[in-house]
Amino acid sequence: MGKNKLKRFTENAGFPHVFQPRMEFPMPDHPLKGTWKSDFFKNDHPLTLELGCGRAEYTVGLSGMFPQRNFIGIDWKGARIWRGAKTTLENGQTNTAFLRIMIGTIASIFSTADDVQEIWITFPDPQPRDSREHKRLTSPEFLERYRSFAAPGCTINLKTDSRLMYDYTLSVVKAQGLTIEKSTDDLYQTNWVDEVLSIKTTYERIWLSQGAKICYLRFQL
């Protein structure tokens, strides 16, 4: 393991807004489940999650734009989470937190009392093999996990360079009869790109430089 990774893991352990629960199967409920607003954020603001957040460009960007909301970036790779955690700490963005967990265990972290009103899924692994469909973050299995804690009318935003992931998610959403608010296979050819959708992840910048089209889907859970 590189020295930079070791340094970042050490810093993560000392950050007050980074949580790294011990992995157990089945996962026990997190001590803050149902009390994130009152016991950690110390406010009554709604919560937004960024799943597979990587360097957490959306968690960082959105928390700066919307101080009256709370944000949690979630990823399994601690060295990536470190970047967003360090930036928000240095910027004094106290409406943020980070979780190093496997997203499949997310139902043990949140409950309906946490008021999760929005979820961002930014450039997830499309898991292209059919045998791994259940691992896609928009599979029926994952949508059921989100339903276990999401607030009524919770919106899910998918941003991806993968046409497979976009088409697959669109088919799942339609099959479940969910309300689609926005859907495009070429985001930057629409007039929807406001200050929120113009936030770009590291991977998005790479794909755009290679001429890829960015797909975007927003639907109500």
125 part of the active site: yes
Beta-bridged to residue 60, according to DSSP, are none
Task: Name the residue among 6, 14, 19, 13 with its Cα closest to residue 73.
Answer: 19
Crossing angle for the helix pair 78-91 and 57-65, nearest 10 degrees?
Answer: 20
* Coil vs helix vs strand at 150: strand
AA letter at 200: K
Of 29, 39, 114, 125, the active-site residue reads 125
Angle in degrees, CA 211, 204, 178, rounded to 5: 105
Q: In whole angstroms, give the CA distance from residue 154 to residue 152.
A: 6
> Is 53 within 8 Å of 83 (Cβ atoms)?
no
CA distance 181 to 173: 11
Rounded to 10 deg, the angle between the 3-14 and 78-91 helix axes is 50
Active site residues: 125
